[in-house]
């Protein structure tokens, strides 16, 4: 699986030096809540963790930051809270979340095509074999939400028996109907903040893909309300 610390340090290094942009990325570990002052001036926060461990029980604290307009990005397993917290926090923060009994987590290879959004600046169509969760529990009517990475999953992604993350009648019906599934999305909160959800990230090797990496760097900037270069982050 992806090495979280290695990945975040690398993304931070690109933003801080190679991007040529006036931004500062700070990488902190699982003990961040021992000194929360590191987030006092944050414009955006990126969380890559096992489940909700990155939140470290600080639900109300992070909710306060979101209500102040701080942007949030959650990646892979970090998009998977329990259903109640998904509705109370994740939907208002980033527009959606994975939900056991509704969403699924197969390995498959979507083909991503550019969407009309600046997160796609400089990014070419790409594909990546990864554990892309789909059939997420989004805000009603996708209000404020823009699909960024989307495709129709093949039937083989539902070969497993029904289970918490393997299949259910609702997702089987959606796939049979040919409904596109959004595995990366941008969200604009009614209060003015921004969120980004990215369900891939299980396989570290996919960060060798320039377009996969550029899209994520662009998304981080977008959640911080930084203007994304026309050709994206180099």
State residue 182 phi and psi, 5-degree precision.
-95, 115
* Confidence category of residue 196, pLDDT binned at 50, 70, 90: very high
* Confidence category of residue 2, pLDDT binned at 50, 70, 90: low
Calculate the alpha carbon distances from 176 to 119, 125, 152 in Å.
30, 25, 10
DSSP assignment of 128-157 equals --EE--BS-EEPGGGTTEEEEEEEPPPGGG
* Confidence category of residue 1, pLDDT binned at 50, 70, 90: low
Residue 24's SS3 state is: coil
Q: What is the pLDDT of residue 4?
A: 80
The answer to pTM > 0.75 is yes
Share of the chain above pLDDT 70, in %: 99
Q: What is the pLDDT of residue 5?
A: 83
Closest CA relative to residue 89, chosen from 59, 58, 57? 59
Q: What is the pLDDT of residue 218?
A: 98
**CA angle centred on 103, ends 102 and 107, rounded to 5°:** 150
* Confidence category of residue 18, pLDDT binned at 50, 70, 90: confident
CB 96 within 8 A of CB 137: yes
The gap from C-alpha 133 to its chain's centroid, in whole angstroms, comes to 11
Q: How far apart are CA 216 and CA 219, in angstroms?
A: 5
Q: What residues contact 37, with CB distance under 8 A and at least 6 apart?
A: none
Mean of pLDDT values over 10-17: 92
DSSP E strands in 119-228: the ranges are 126-127, 130-131, 137-138, 145-151, 181-188, 194-198
């Amino acid at each position: 699986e992806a090495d979280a610390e290695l990945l975040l340090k690398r993304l931070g290094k690109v933003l801080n030096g190679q991007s040529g942009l006036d931004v500062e990325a700070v990488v902190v570990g699982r003990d961040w809540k021992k000194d929360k002052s590191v987030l006092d001036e944050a414009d955006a926060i990126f969380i890559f963790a096992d489940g909700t461990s990155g939140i470290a029980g600080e639900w109300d604290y992070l909710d306060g930051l979101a209500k102040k307009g701080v942007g949030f990005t959650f990646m892979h397993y970090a998009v998977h809270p329990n259903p109640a917290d998904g509705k109370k926090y994740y939907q208002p923060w980033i527009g959606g979340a994975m939900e056991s009994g509704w969403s699924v987590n197969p390995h498959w290879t979507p083909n991503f095509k550019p969407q009309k959004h600046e997160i796609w600046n400089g990014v070419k169509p790409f594909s990546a074999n990864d554990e892309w969760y789909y059939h997420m529990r989004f805000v009603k009517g996708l209000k404020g939400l823009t699909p960024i990475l989307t495709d129709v999953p093949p039937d083989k992604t539902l070969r497993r028996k029904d289970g918490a993350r393997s299949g259910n009648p609702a997702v089987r019906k959606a796939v049979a109907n040919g409904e596109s599934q959004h595995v990366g999305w941008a969200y604009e909160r009614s209060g003015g903040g921004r969120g980004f959800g990215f369900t891939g990230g299980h396989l570290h090797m996919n960060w060798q893909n320039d377009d996969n990496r550029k899209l994520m760097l662009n998304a981080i900037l977008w959640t911080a309300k930084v203007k994304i270069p026309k050709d994206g982050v180099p």
